Amino acid sequence: MGSISLYSQQKYYTKSGYVTFDSRIDSFVPIKAANNSLSAVFDTNNGDIAALAFIKDFNFKNSLMQEHFNESYAESDLYPKTTFSGNLLNYKSKISGVYLINGIFNFHGVKKELDKIPFVVEFFDDYIKITGEFALNISDFNIKVPKIVKSKIPSKMYVYVDMNLISN
Amino acid sequence: MSLFLRSSLIFFIFTNIFLSQTDLLNEIDFDQDIEVSSVFKSLKVVNFESTKLISSGEFAFSVSHRFGSIKYGFENFFGLDDAITRLNFIYGLNEYSNLSISRSSYNKTFDVALKARLIAQNNEFPFTLVLYSSLTIDSSLDDEIYPKMSFNNRLGYFTQFIISRKLNKNLSAIVSPSYFHENLVVLTNQNNSQYGVIFGGRYKISKRASFNIDYGYHFNRSSDSIFKNPLGIGLDIETGGHVFQLLFSNSQSMNAINLMSSSTGDWTEGDVFFGFNLYRTF
């Protein structure tokens, strides 16, 4: 219990992680957006990880689409943040490799448990690189899609994360 | 070890794991000073400019129509026979300013306008303030009818401050004090320099539709003027890359200066024009 604070210097941080979501469906207006200001913290002591991004920081190519996304789908005025907190399974301190992560993903006010998502964790001299990808079902997040555009809205979104964390 | 002790130990370990993860999230949690978004969805409220700008490097094309007066009924098919068209090209110079060039078939008017956002409503500042300024050129004036006319007489200047506030999720409003100068006025009693204020707003009736209204009050219209203050009432419908605005207006013109100076229709007599604005960004 005290060990957590004892090893607090073992935490690595970033405020400029890269996260994207993409429907991976070719269409005239592809649904994808990128965010360059993902905040994250990783505890090298026990493999705990947490990340946070602001919905409004997701940039779409088409700014009107970005407005629609914020106002009508993600409702970012009500739910400004999306977060993840989890733990690397079978974590071995400072050993690079593919780890499975269990955790809670929070978006649009809905908490969704994610199970055994593979992430690549690489330890370098002065930073840790974490990359990975997972798919989300849009229907899990209580997002109302009007019938008229239902055919245009994909059922799955692929979230890709790439971040370099440094020790503070 | 008693069952109680054991289970409380397990409980303690579990809550500790849970807490440590929550703590970890709390460590990076913060609140952003976020600009209020989507005060207006389209560049115009109905007839007049909203505080919406397009983004840097973006290009938008807007088509607007005002059909003939609906008061003649079937005779002109409720106005559909006599359409006025305005094509407007808008370019985002940077995040704070737009340049636009338009041509309207009303008086064959060309118009160049600059729209610049001076400050945006955010958590701390309650208003968005935008400066809009346009130069119009009336190319319909005929040299044969006005032999003494110079190019200068074709010009009109319109400048306004647009102040908007998103009052809540559904309701946004504007107030726009405006000054305009027509180098040529139809009535001799009409001062070339004119003043007005525009009130307007939108109320969202669903996620993708809003009810919009705007009204322009003219402060120094000459007493013998037949022209009316412009009132527009419309419905905004949003889709992915477009906004459609269906509207009724007592003005057939679409440039701010013409709207304020020479709107001919009269709501009380049913002399109004059906029309739409639609725009698409690229």
pLDDT reported for residue A7 = 46
Interface check for A87 against chain B (CB to CB < 8 A): the answer is: yes
Considering CB atoms only, which of A68, A76, A83 is closest to B240? A68
More confident residue, B97 or B169: B97
For A47-99, write each residue's pLDDT tens digit. Answer: 999 999 999 999 998 888 888 889 888 988 889 999 999 999 989 888 999 99
Whether residue A85 and residue B21 make contact (CB cut-off 8 A), yes or no, is yes
Residues of chain B found within 8 Å of residue A151, distances taken between Cβ atoms:
none
A16: pLDDT confidence band, cut at 50, 70 and 90? very high
Hey, is the C-beta of A149 within 8 angstroms of any chain B C-beta? yes
| Residue B187: pLDDT over 70 | yes
Q: Is A103 on the interface with B (CB under 8 A)?
A: yes
Mean pLDDT of chain A: 88
Q: What is the mean pLDDT of residues A24-35?
A: 82
- Domain assignment present for residue A5? The answer is no
Does the global pTM surpass 0.95?
no
Taking contacts as CB-CB distances below 8 angstroms, the residues of chain B near A62 are 240-241, 281
**Per-residue pLDDT at B71:** 78
Is residue A8 a part of any domain in this protein? no
Contact B240 A64 (CB under 8 A): yes
pLDDT digits (tens, 9 = 90+) for B214-248: 999 999 999 999 999 999 999 999 876 678 999 99
Tell me what the mean pLDDT of segment A96-121 comes to.
94
> Cβ(B237)–Cβ(B243) under 8 Å?
yes
Q: Do A39 and B28 touch (CB under 8 A)?
A: yes
Number of structural domains chain A divides into: 1
For range B130-139, the mean pLDDT? 96
Work out the average pLDDT over B179-195. Answer: 93
Between A18 and B14, the more confident residue is A18
- Does A25 fall in a domain? yes
pLDDT at position A150, please?
72
* Residues of chain A numbered 24-63 and touching chain B (CB < 8 Å): 29, 39-41, 43, 46, 48-52, 54, 56, 62-63
This complex has an ipTM of 0.75
- Residue A49 domain-assigned? yes
Instruction: Note down the domain range covering A31.
Output: 13-167
**Residue at A127 is within a domain:** yes
pLDDT for residue B282 is more than 80: no
Residue A24 pLDDT level (bands cut at 50, 70, 90) = confident
Residue of B nearest to A54 (CA): B32
Q: The domain that contains A62 carries what CATH number?
A: 2.40.128.110
